[in-house]
Structure formats: C-alpha cells, structure tokens
Amino acid sequence: MELAVGLVRDPQFGPLVMVAAGGVLVEMLRDRRFLLPPVDARTARAALDRLAVRPLLDGAGSGARPADLGAVAGAVVALAGLAVDLGERLAAVDVNPLLAGADGCLAVDALVVRAPA
C-alpha cells in the first residue's frame, strides 16, 4: 500500500506533519490528515485510522496481509521529531511513496527542502 508522509511549515501554525494516501492517489483523493508536532504513536495511529484508505492497510480488497501500522506510525513520529529538532531550518519534506507492508514500511522517494537562510 502506498502512503505519503510530509511536513510543511505554515506561517500561522508552524510545522504540520501530513499522512495521506500515497502515489498518484495523494492528489486524486486528497485523503490526508495533518498533525501538529510533537506527535506520539497513539496520535499517529489515530490519524491513520481516519484515512479513507484505511481498510486497504488491512488488506481489504487485495487479500494482502495487513500493513504494519506500528511501523507507519513510527515513521510519522520520526518525521514530527525531525520537524521539532530542525525547527526553522526545515521548510518541507515530502515522502511519496512510503510503502506500507506486513513487514514494515519503506520510503521510496523523498524530497527535503531547506528553509532559506
């Protein structure tokens, strides 16, 4: 299952962490949730549970084994930690796709944008 995770810096709210349906679905479905760092595993899992594509992570319709939601939540938590640690030096991060499978998750492509000095 392809997901996307990312980080944007909002002028009003500061860093926002995003978790969404990934691949081409990120723009087609606009199925995404935003979180304010810091983010813990429980909050990350709750955001995943609110995605419309959530049943696909359980293998619905494909017969695939359920995705390791703990690993995906861990990736979201780690990205939120990066946002806190790097603060104003980080403008954006886009990881798409983040492949979520039964044995964990893997970032296939990522773009990191440094904030202007």
pLDDT 10s digits, 56-112 = 999 987 788 999 999 999 999 999 999 999 999 999 999 999 999 999 999 999 999
- Residue whose C-alpha is closest to residue 80's, from 26, 25, 43, 30: 43
Q: Give the mean pLDDT of the chain.
A: 94
Residues 21 and 89: their CA atoms lie apart, in Å, by 27
The model carries a pTM of 0.94
Instruction: Say whether pLDDT at 117 is over 90.
Output: no
Beta bridge partners of 110: 95
Residues 19 and 24: their CA atoms lie apart, in Å, by 14
CATH number at residue 105: 3.30.470.20
Domain of residue 35, residue span: 2-114
- In the chain, the number of structural domains is 1
